[in-house]
Chain A
Amino acid sequence: MTATTALPTEERVVRREALYFAVRNPKLVIGFSIVLVLALTGLFGPVILGVDAPNEYVAMPMLPPTSEYWFGTTTQGQDVFVQFVYGLRTTILAGAIGGGIAAVIAMVIGFVAGYRGGMVDEVLNMLTNIVLVIPTLAVLLIINAYLGIRSVGMQALLIGLTSWPWAARAIRAQTFSLRSRDFVDLARLSGVGTPRIIAREIAPNMSSYLFMTFILLFGSSVLIAASLDFIGLGPTEGVSLGLMLQNATQWSALQLGLWWWFVPPGAAITAVVGALYVANVGLDEVFNPKLRET
């Protein structure tokens, strides 16, 4: 149909320009590089290290960092570096899946509420407000506590199910402003159905915004997952950065001065989340020319 055909050249120019500024934006480049390096470490590190069980006792307990054990060992003689690499994998995975699920829910609710309006909007808005007010971590606490066996996937799913409201609200507002644009009207008049209009007309026109929303949800999911792990509601198997922090405090790493046990995992969480936030600022500058000038 007319409205859904070729991308206007203007839009293509805008995209090319965005790319031009993207590769020259230090915030974006540095932020994404840090995330990428840490994600690759988590992804391939375990393979390269060739260790299957990060919680095995491999050496003398409480060794400070050496050339063999880069991050030293725990009070039980576990290799902190091996745990760190595995933990990175778990934590980034939990954040990405959790953030992804939250983004999908936020998009569905935001698009439908913003596009349909009326009663549907009222009901969805109410739902959003309710989930927004309930403290996320508190809900996750009781759900996770009742779950006997906890997996990373389950944790991510639950985080996704509870952390979408602010994003849904923002997407709803954006959709609302796009709804009455000419090209959407045109598509509607030519008989295109609602899901198709949302997928073909509305979503592409706010793709940069959606991507930025996902980035922020990713970051917050990493933090929520780490908090859950720390309280003792992390995955029952394996290791994550939050679990490392929990073990470190539980086994008195503080009092014993085993700084190599609790510094790396926290630093890695901060690095991942901080890099995501900084990259997000960079993205904002790329997509928003007004911010670019100054």
Chain B
Amino acid sequence: MSLRVSELRVHYKTLRGDVKALDGVSFTMDDGEILGLAGESGCGKTTLGKSLIRMDGRMRHVGGTVELDGRELPIGDDRAMNDYRFHEISLIPQYSMSAMNPTRRIGRMVTELLRSRGVTLDRKELESRIGMVGLPREVLDRYPIELSGGQKQRMVMVISTLLDPALLIADEITSALDVSTQKAVAKALLGFRDGGYVKSMIFITHDLALTSHIADTVMVMYAGKLAEKAPSEKLIKAPKHPYTKLLINSLPEIGVRYEERKLAGIPGSPPSLLNPPQGCRFRDRCPLAGDECAEEPPVNEIEPNHFVACWKA
């Protein structure tokens, strides 16, 4: 068992009150597993990613635990978390294009970063990994501005995985890229996993189609809660939660003419997390909603490894 998250609650402090961005989320991940994390913006997926490595100033750990390889992570304690960062848990941020200090040569920046974490740079290893993602060794002598967007992205991937973390969080890293580059990035991520550089990976995206190509398991979140979690194939082919079904229906498909079949968006919008309603949070937008939905549905394992939070499933 690699990662175990139980009943995790994380709130955002705002002037109007607490936004309950993560409201009791539980799941587990195995060694070597790639978990795709999907959902609309504001569903809590980015909050979950941040909670696992570094909360920003407005986030508060309200309840629940996170265990990595049997040890509980002090996720609410910024200082204590530092021991785990980079060594155990690492991050490829959404903003890879601007993640490197513009006024340092990349090689020097990496050296300084590693030294600050008490690690001496293994130049050979670094160069071999740079080669692995298809970058020339000379990038180490360049400033970030001299690299193209795709090159920067790959460089950041190399830096983030340099210490062979047990868990890598990739946060929306493909959303700014064109389709062919997306593929290349996805391939590189798989390469890191298969080469044993990272044990397991959480791949956060709003692109359900892309997720299913990379991830072994996909977890769909809605309004701060888990909606459905299943092996990729199963989640795409036989989704059980009405929200997942609608999400998949709204995906464009190759070979389908959309004059005949309308692309269905999901009407309505997610509830405010400032004061979330009782019962199932998808109720107001759910085509199947019934009286029992006034009560909150528990997460049930309806088949091995297939979890759904819905009364109708």
Contact = CB atoms under 8 A, between A and B. Distances in A.
Direct contact of A and B (CB under 8 A): yes
Interface size grouping (class) on chain B: under 10
Interface in A2-52: none
Interface string B51-92: 000000110000000000000000000000000000000000
A40 B213 CA distance: 71
B269 to A, nearest CB: 16
Contacts of B57: 293-294
Contacts of A294: 57
A4 to B, nearest CB: 30
Contacts of A293: 57-58
Interface string A272-294: 00000000000000000000011
Interface string B98-116: 0000000000000000000
Contacts of B58: 293
A129 B58 CA distance: 42
A181 B58 CA distance: 31
A293 B58 CA distance: 9
Interface in A248-294: 293-294
A293 B57 CA distance: 10
A173 B54 CA distance: 35
A293 B16 CA distance: 12
Nearest to A292: B15
A293 B12 CA distance: 12
Nearest to B13: A293
A294 B58 CA distance: 9
A20 to B, nearest CB: 10
A210 B58 CA distance: 31
A293 to B, nearest CB: 7
A117 to B, nearest CB: 25
A136 B101 CA distance: 37
Nearest to B58: A293
A151 B57 CA distance: 54
A198 B56 CA distance: 39
Interface in B25-73: 57-58
Interface string A233-258: 00000000000000000000000000
Interface in A76-107: none
A294 B13 CA distance: 12
Nearest to A294: B57
B95 to A, nearest CB: 16
B279 to A, nearest CB: 30
A287 to B, nearest CB: 16
Interface string A149-179: 0000000000000000000000000000000
A199 B57 CA distance: 40
B55 to A, nearest CB: 15
A181 B57 CA distance: 32
A119 B58 CA distance: 47
B56 to A, nearest CB: 10
A137 B58 CA distance: 47
Nearest to B57: A294
B202 to A, nearest CB: 27
A46 B177 CA distance: 68
B60 to A, nearest CB: 14
Nearest to A21: B15
A293 B14 CA distance: 8
A18 to B, nearest CB: 14
B16 to A, nearest CB: 11
A65 B157 CA distance: 73
A4 B217 CA distance: 51
Interface of B: 57-58
3 contacts: A293-B57, A293-B58, A294-B57
Q: Return the 3 tightest CB-CB contacts between A and B, nearest first.
A: A293-B58, A294-B57, A293-B57
